[in-house]
Amino acid sequence: MKNFFSKRRVSASGFSLVEVLVYVAVLVLVTMAGVLTYLSLSTTLVRYETERAVSHAAQVTLERIVRDIKGATTITAAESSFGTSSPPSLTLVAGTTTTKFSLSGGNVLLTQNGIEIGPLTSEDVTVEQLYFLRYTGVSTELVRVVLTLSASNKAASTTRTFFGSGVLRGSYE
């Protein structure tokens, strides 16, 4: 009979404390890198969405204003304000249609033939500044539009200024 206290074999199939600590440290580092990457990407996405909203609002608004300037034959100067005067407005006449652009409550409003069509800018974008500049030559009449838009979203805010211009129909002869 063998002695109970004789040498027994110790199994080598476990982890030592040092190995476990190293594995846990590596796991923590990889997890932290993943979390930081996720936070960075989400902040970048929020910034991108804010920039995109401002750019889209500027594109829609300026395209409409410049298109109507190019299609107009005259400007109703009595109902328009040029320069940085407040409140900014531009009234154009094209045939029997009178179109007015004005600023109200942080939005560019469109009115046609005395009927308010609605805002050109979306509700998540605010118009900080809008003004019209009128240039007249011997036979040329040009209107330049300066539009400053801003948007805020969670962790990002953007303010950008956009420019557009158009020559009135028939004034470029």
Please indicate, yes or no, if residue 2 is contained in any of the structural domains. Answer: no
For the chain, the first-to-last Cα distance in angstroms comes to: 122
Structurally, how many domains does the chain consist of? Answer: 1
CA 104/CA 125 separation, integer angstroms: 13
pLDDT tens-digit series, residues 102-149: 998 889 999 999 999 999 888 889 999 999 999 988 888 899 999 999
Residue 37 lies in a domain: yes
Return the C-alpha torsion angle 30, 35, 37, 42, nearest 10.
170
Model confidence band, residue 57 (pLDDT cutoffs 50, 70, 90)? very high
Domain encompassing residue 126: 17-167
d(CA 163, CA 173): 24
Instruction: Name the more confident of 153 and 106.
Output: 106
Residue 5 has pLDDT above 70, yes or no: no
Predicted TM-score of the model (pTM): 0.76
Query: In a 3-state reduction of DSSP, which class is residue 172?
Result: coil
Residue 81 within any structural domain of the chain: yes
- Kindly state whether residue 173 falls inside one of the protein's structural domains: no
